[in-house]
Amino acid sequence: MADLNRTCLYDLHVDLGAKMVPFAGYEMPVQYPMGVLKEHLHCRAAAGLFDVSHMGQVLLRPNSGDVADAALALETLVPVDVLGLKAGRQRYGLFTNDTGGILDDLMIANRGDHLFLVVNAACKAQDLAHMQAHLADRCEVAEVTDRALLALQGPAAEAALAGLAPGAAGMRFMDVAVLPSVFGDLWVSRSGYTGEDGFEISVHQAQARGLAESLLANDAVDAIGLGARDSLRLEAGLCLYGSDLDETTSPVEAALEWAVQKVRRAGGARAGGFPGADRILREFGAGAARRRVGLLPEGRAPMRAGTVLYADADGGEPVGTVTSGAFGPSIERPMSMGYVATGHAADGTTVFGEVRGRRLPATIAPMPFLPASYKR
């Protein structure tokens, strides 16, 4: 742990009794005294506060002063309609490589005269280098190093945040805004990683503990660790980079076609022009050999990452692998996500996961496992 980074809220986590673990180069809270199960259910029922300050925050400022130029520049690295993203709105995106794999997934926000990106902690150094290498002639690529990032998630999130920043109440899913507060200007998006309504809030580091403590003073809000964050996102059918997505996996294999808007697909006004476009656009037409799917194992035991999947209860070659698996407290059963050969990917198909030398059945199921409750 001595070589790990710490977020500016480390002391608060310790004061709250968190169990700290290594994650993406940081010492992060995996759970608090409430425990993972109760933290998960509390977020679904009320509101949970997560420290996600390990994530990368990046500003893309166009050299020309026209945000459209930053959008077009970024489109050379992502298969996403950035130019069509309106001011005050955010969109999910993917950095792809020359072979059509995914370098990272990220959030892209149009803040009027520049773009604001949030990238994964484990990838942020490579993402920054990637953008600086390819965009520096058209944009300033600036990492934000003086702000923390909090996620407030759950049905009570709006009331809790609106008590400190009233403008939050008028936001809709994927809106972004700069909201004044006694903790300075808050960079807020109505989004998150749990399937619940909620917000991600960038706040200056000097004000981060004060904001966190004010939110936690609300009876509806409790601190939530990485353990519950993982089960929450898995119930919501959301990918974890490095587990469910990697540099070999294409957006089509990952069932993320929705993240590639029509304008960037074959026949679109700005089709292609991003790394790996040949493979990705070909797979849009012809399909991919494998597919990310949801899995509902029978019984109570989760099928964890690395579990090999077969078409038959005995014999035969593998048809896939589990990439994420956990028990879902809200759905009260085990759940998994993984990749299977396309011929076995239809909902309702039974496959068999090899667990401790036994092949146990699981059913291919649509995701999310629990319907989302975003405020549209």
> Tens of pLDDT along 324-346?
999 999 999 999 999 999 999 99
Structure confidence at residue 301 (pLDDT): 87
> Tens of pLDDT along 214-244?
999 999 999 999 999 999 999 999 999 999 9
> Tens of pLDDT along 189-202?
999 999 999 999 99
* Inter-axis angle of helices 36-45 and 226-235, nearest 10: 50
Count CB neighbours of 1 within 10 A: 8
User: In a 3-state reduction of DSSP, which class is residue 202?
Assistant: strand
Distance of alpha carbon 192 from the chain centroid? 7
Element (H, E) at 74: helix 67-74
Q: Which amino acid is at 64?
A: S
pLDDT over 70 percentage in the chain: 100
Distance CA 291, CA 207 (A): 44
User: In a 3-state reduction of DSSP, which class is residue 170?
Assistant: helix
Half-sphere exposure of 65 (CA within 13 A, CB side): 0
Count CB neighbours of 306 within 10 A: 10
Q: What's the pTM?
A: 0.97
Q: What residue ranges define each of the domains in the chain, with the CATH number in brackets?
A: 1-256 (3.30.1360.120), 289-365 (2.40.30.110)
Structure confidence at residue 364 (pLDDT): 98
Distance CA 79, CA 84 (A): 13
Distance CA 36, CA 309 (A): 28
Count CB neighbours of 160 within 10 A: 24
Distance CA 47, CA 39 (A): 10
Mean of the per-residue pLDDT values of the chain: 97
Q: What angle do CA 234, 158, 170 make, to 5 degrees?
A: 115
Q: Is the pLDDT of residue 84 over 80?
A: yes
Q: Is the pLDDT of residue 36 over 90?
A: yes
Long-range contacts of residues 16-22, Cβ cutoff 8 Å, at least 24 apart: 16/223, 18/223, 18/225, 19/225, 21/226
Q: Is the pLDDT of residue 2 over 80?
A: no
Tokens of 70: 């930053």
